[in-house]
A and B are shown apart, each in its own frame.
Chain A
C-alpha cells in the first residue's frame, strides 16, 4: 500500500502537479499575448512611417493642401493643449483630492462627490466634447480656442487625477498623521511636512499619465479648439491650434491624395510622444520605490 510509505508519490499528487503545469503555461501564454498588439502596432507604424520621419518633417508646416510638408504646428498645438489643460486640471485635482482624503469625513456629502467623480471618469470623450462646445465655446463665449479645448480636456482628466492623487495620499500610513497630531501639529502642517513629501512622486506619476491621455484624445479638441489647418502658430490661449491627434484624423479621412507615409509618420510621432511620457512616469515610479522612506 502506498499509504504505508510516507512521502511516496500518489496518483493525486501526480494529477495535481500535471494540472499545475498546464494552468501555469496557459496563464503565461495569455499574458505573453498581451505584448503582441503593441509590438504589431509599433512595427506597422515604423515600417510605413519611418521613411517620412525626417527632421524637416518635424520642423516644417504642412504644404500643398496637406499632401506634403511636416507637422510642426500640430506638435506645437498638442504641447499647448496638454500644457494648458494640465495647468488647469492638476492643481484643482490635487487640491480636491487633498480635501477629500485629509479633511472631509465619510458622510452623504462626500459620498455624493465621490460618486460624481467616478461617474465623470466614465463619461465618453465625445460627450465631454459636446459639453465643452456648450459650456465653454458658446455659453462662456470663449470661442473655439486653445482655452476652450484645454478646459474640456481638463474636465476629462480631472476625475482620474483626483482618484490617483487620493490613492497616493492614502498610501501614507495613518500612524504618521496621528504621530504628528499628538505632537500638536495642525492638519495642514501634517499634510505639508509629512503627507505630501511622502506622496508627491505618486501624485506626479498619476498626473503625468493623464498627460498622455490628453495628448491622444481627438474628440474633445475637435469641436472646441483644434483646427484642420492653420498657417500660423498660436500666440495665446485665445487662438485656435492644430493638434497631432486631430491632424492624424484629418490626413486619414478628410484630405484626398495624401501620401501613405504622412499619416503613419504622424501617428508614429504621437505614439512616440505618449510612450516617452509614460516612460518618464515609469522611471519616476521606480525612483520613488528606490527612495521609499519607511
Chain B
C-alpha cells in the first residue's frame, strides 16, 4: 500500500560516460508501495537512472556515478556484491528478452542461481510467477518449449515472470510496452496494478497516458535533470510547478 516511507532515496545523483553527463543533480524519493511513473523524451536519463539504482552501472564500461542512492536507508554502493541489490530489484527491459532455454528454465533461472534446488518448490514458484504475469494459461502445456520461440508479447510477460521469480521488493519496468501490441499492454497494465499490492514499482514510460493511468506519482525528466515530481493528478492538471511539465504532458513539445 502507498505510504510516505521512502523505499529509495536518491540524493545529488550525477552520472556520466566520459565527458557526456547523462544525469545531473537528481534528488528523488520513491515511496514504499507506490507506482512512480517516470516520463520524458529519449535521452532524458530515465534508463541511466535505473542502471544506477541496481548498479548495472558497474557493468557498463566508462560509466561513472556520483551522489547517493539508498534503498531502505542503505547506500547501494555499500553492498560488496551488486547481485545482492539486483536480487531485490526486478527489471523488465524495453525489448523482450527470452533467454535461450525452456520457459520453465527462464523463470527458474534466478532462483537456481541463488541456490534453490528443491524441484517441487521451483515448480510451484514458476507456476506462481507465470500466473502473476498473466502468461500461465497460454503456456501451461508447453513449459519445456524454448522461451525465445514465444511471441513478442508473450516473451515480455515471460520477462516479467522472470523478474518476479526472486520476489523482489522493487520492480522496474523500462518502457515495457514499446514492442508489445495494445491488447497485451492492457493485460500487463492489469498485472502491474495487481503487483502494486506487494511491491514498489518504478514505471519508465514514453506513453504519457500510461503514466496517467498507472502512476500514483509522476516524475518528468528532461536532458538528465528532474524537472518535477508530484502526484499524477497534479502533473496532469494546470497547476504544475514547472511550465515545461504542463507543455510536455499536453504534447506541446518533445
Contact = CB atoms under 8 A, between A and B. Distances in A.
B101 A180 contact: no
Interface stretch (A43-51, A59-67, A73-81, A184-192): A184-192
B156 interface: no
B109 A180 contact: yes
Interface stretch (A18-26, A146-154, A171-179): A171-179
A9 B86 CA distance: 65
Contact of A175 (B56, B87, B93, B162): B93
A14 interface: no
Interface in B45-87: 54, 56, 59, 61, 83-84, 86-87
B166 A184 contact: yes
A293 B146 contact: yes
A178 B54 CA distance: 12
Contact of B110 (A178, A184, A198, A293): A184
A7 interface: no
A11 interface: no
B86 A179 contact: no
A175 B100 CA distance: 11
A176 B84 contact: no
- A175, A176, A182 — which one has the most chain B CB atoms within 10 A of its CB? A182
B245 interface: no
B91 interface: yes
A180 B56 contact: no
A105 B61 contact: yes
Contact of A183 (B59, B110, B148): B110
A99 interface: no
Contacts of A189: 113
Contacts of A139: none
Contacts of A181: 56, 59, 86
Interface string B85-99: 011010101010111
A185 B106 CA distance: 13
B177 interface: no
B200 interface: no
A294 interface: yes
Contact of A294 (B54, B84, B89, B148): B148
B114 interface: yes
B222 to A, nearest CB: 26
A193 interface: yes
B100 to A, nearest CB: 4
A192 to B, nearest CB: 10
Nearest to A181: B59
B89 to A, nearest CB: 8
Nearest to A192: B113
Given A105-B61, A175-B93, A182 B86 contact: yes
A170 to B, nearest CB: 15
3 nearest interchain CB pairs? A293-B100, A184-B87, A183-B110
30 contacts: A105-B61, A175-B93, A175-B95, A176-B99, A178-B56, A178-B59, A179-B93, A179-B97, A179-B159, A179-B162, A180-B99, A180-B113, A181-B56, A181-B59, A181-B86, A182-B56, A182-B86, A182-B89, A182-B91, A183-B110, A183-B113, A184-B113, A185-B83, A185-B109, A186-B83, A186-B113, A189-B113, A193-B113, A194-B101, A294-B98
Given A180-B99, A183-B109, A184-B110, 13 more contacts: A178-B97, A179-B93, A179-B162, A181-B86, A183-B110, A183-B162, A183-B166, A184-B83, A185-B83, A185-B109, A186-B83, A198-B100, A294-B146
Interface of B: 54, 56, 59, 61, 83-84, 86-87, 89, 91, 93, 95, 97-101, 109-110, 113-114, 146, 148, 159, 162-163, 165-166
